[in-house]
Amino acid sequence: MANYIEMTEENFDEIIKEGVVMVDFWAPWCGPCRMIAPVIDSLATQYAGKAKICKVNTDEQQELATKFGIRSIPTIFFYKNGEKVDEMIGAATEQDFKAKLDGLL
């Protein structure tokens, strides 16, 4: 079972308010999203207890995608204590994501 957190409009603000949070905006039909899905799962395991690794299905959470102006996916947001501090657009390597997370921890 994956260790990442499924985010919704109802739980988004509560999840990001404390600590380091990585949010993957994705959709099931998106090729690059499916390509990085195993990386997201791996990061969720590696960073358990250190950072929250989260996913937002933009098909199911269209309000969130609109609220944050998501125009292409995957889009990855990084938060620290409720404040958005970085973002990445498009697929990236596990090392790229780890470098961002490690820099925030």
Catalytic residues: 30, 33
Token readout for 78 is: 């990084």
Q: Exposure string (b/e) for 41-68, b if CB count within 10 Å is 16 or more?
A: bbbbeebeeebbbbbbbbeebeebbeeb
